[in-house]
Amino acid sequence: MSKVLIIEDEQSIAELEKDYLELYAFEVSIENDGKKGLDRAILENYDIVIVDLMLPSIDGFEICKRIREIKDIPILVVSAKKEDIDKIRGLELGADDYITKPFSPSELVARVKAHLSRYERLRGTGTGQENEFIEIRGIKIDKTARRVFVNGEEKILTTKEFDLLAFLAGNPNRVFTKEELFKEIWNMDSFGDIATVTVHIKKIREKIELNTAKPQYIETIWGVGYRFKV
């Protein structure tokens, strides 16, 4: 099921879009605020983002630009003003399509479907089964293919290193104790040697961090454990 994020401050419009997309079995989330919408678009895994241009805190122009810097997902821009659409087209911020309000809900669904299938083709998955990715600030973890890329460069991790990294990144900003991580990744009770966790964290950092003394991804919370920072 494809996941859609709608960033729209007019609740009635957002609800209308949501209702219609849900009829076609899309899983839809709504965010009314620009900044929060941008955060969710980046941190959570959506297949497509529908963004209004005029929004509180951060506008749709900035949202397009920022999503595009990090993520390769379709962005559909919605605006009441044709001039704004012309403007965003001219700025080439990376939006894939534009719709002027008012639009028919069926047109919206048609465009969403078209862009999703286009991206699927571009990715060359073609099987209908999309790889599951976690992407946070330059790091891209392909959970399906079990591959890790940092700023586009592939890093080779061992099985347990990968499991540990994917687990931490999949639960961003949560602090886990070494015991919890040991239990989670090594599938044993916490009677094993939890120093294993420390060793693995060190190895992962050597592979993914620019400066292991100042890790930007996996942070040590002294006396507690680790967390993946976002």
Q: Which residues of this protein are in contact with Ca ion, per CB under 5 A?
A: 9, 52, 54
CB of 40 to Ca ion, least distance (A): 17
Nearer Cβ to Ca ion, position 54 or 114?
A: 54
CB of 37 to Ca ion, least distance (A): 11
Query: Per 3-state DSSP, what percentage of the chain is helix, strand, and coil (rounded to 5)?
Result: 45, 20, 35
Nearer Cβ to Ca ion, position 31 or 52?
A: 52
Tokens for 228?
């993946």
Nearer Cβ to Ca ion, position 9 or 39?
A: 9
Q: Which residue is nearest to Ca ion (CB)?
A: 54
CB of 101 to Ca ion, least distance (A): 9
Nearer Cβ to Ca ion, position 14 or 201?
A: 14
Nearer Cβ to Ca ion, position 43 or 54?
A: 54
Q: Are 143 and 179 in contact (CB under 8 A)?
A: no
ω into residue 102 within 30 of 0, thus cis? yes
The per-residue b/e assignment along 169-193, b for 16 or more CB within 10 angstroms, e otherwise, is beeeeeebbbebbbbbbbeeeeeee
169: enclosing H helix or E strand: helix 159-170
* Alpha carbons 209 and 79: distance in angstroms, whole number: 40
CB of 78 to Ca ion, least distance (A): 9
Q: CB-based contacts of 174: which residues, under 8 Å, 6+ apart?
A: 227, 228
CB of 10 to Ca ion, least distance (A): 6
